[in-house]
Each structure stands twice: as structure tokens, then as C-alpha cells.
Amino acid sequence: MSLKDQITEDMKAAMRAKDSERLGTIRLLTAAMKQKEVDERVELDDAMVIAIVDKLVKQRKDSIEAFTKAARQDLVDKEAAEMAVLQGYLPARLSADEVAAEVKAIVAELGAKGPGDMGKVMGAVKARLAGKADMGQVSAAVKAALSGAGS
């Protein structure tokens, strides 16, 4: 079953269970998926769905940070609950050590030397680790690997 089908089934289950919070989050996700399909005239595959979920999770993290600064615990809790539902659709995340190992392997494959190759390495890393790792963490690992390679 594709991820898109799984999300549709989960939406039906949430409707039957009258779980309004989960249902609202899943509807938000399906709306984002439909928007992408209409805008780009494509049929979404699992990788594209994961990218959408990743983007929505990042938005929730940013919102949580802003609401925490504004001392709005009620909104922090709502965003955290939505983020938990969305993260259920992401594949298991790699640990920091696994990310560093993958980045080192890609740097070696590409023969990248120094910070000037950051764009080339990030492109390859994003393709390989999309949805499997936090891109902020990946970017830091790439910088560390390239600064180590350059010296």
C-alpha cells in the first residue's frame, strides 16, 4: 500500500473513531498533497508525500518555537499534537552518527574537497537521505565533513 493510500485509510479510521484532532491534521496533509498534485499536474509517489510531510513537520517546529516565545502553551500543545501525527508518516530517522557516516561516504564518492563543493554534496545527500534525516542536521554534518576534507 502506498503512503498516499495509507493516509486515506487513516483519515477514514479517524472519521469512524470521531478523533477530530487526528482527522484535522490528516485533512491538512491531504489538502497539501492535493494542492501539489493540482499545481504541478503530477501523481504523487511516496518520496513526494514524504517531502510534503517533512515540510509540514518543519512548519510545526517553527510554530512551536514562536508560540513558546510568546508563552502560548495552548497553541504549543496543538502544534505538538499535529507534529506527532505527521511524524507517524515519516520513515525512521537516522541517528547523528549514521548521518555523519552517510555524508562521509557521499563526500568520498564525489571526491569533494572543501566548502566550495557544499552545493554538489548537499544535492547528492538530499537525494539519498530525503525524509530519513533532519536536513539541518545533515547540513551541519556536510559542513563538518567538508571542513575536515579541506584541511
Q: Which amino acid is at 142?
A: V
Q: What is the pLDDT of residues 78-136, one digit of tens each?
A: 999 999 999 888 877 777 777 778 888 887 777 777 777 777 777 777 777 766 777 77
Q: 87, 118, 136 — which closes off a domain? A: 87
- CATH number for the domain spanning 118: value is 1.10.10.410
34-58 mean pLDDT? 89
Query: How many angstroms separate the CA atoms of 43 and 32, rounded?
Result: 13
Q: What pLDDT is recorded for position 150?
A: 46
- What confidence category does residue 41 fall into, taking pLDDT thresholds of 50, 70 and 90? very high
145-149 mean pLDDT? 71
Number of compact structural domains in the chain? 2
The pTM of the whole model exceeds 0.75: no
- What confidence category does residue 151 fall into, taking pLDDT thresholds of 50, 70 and 90? very low
Round the CA-based radius of gyration of the chain to a whole number and report it.
18
| Residue 64 belongs to domain spanning | 3-87
Q: Look up residue 52 and give its three cell numbers.
A: 510534503
Residue 85 phi/psi, 5-degree rounding, is -65, -45
Helix 3-17 / helix 20-40 crossing angle, nearest 10 deg: 150
Query: How many angstroms separate the CA atoms of 96 and 90, rounded?
Result: 17
74 and 111, same domain (yes or no): no
First to last CA, the chain: 48
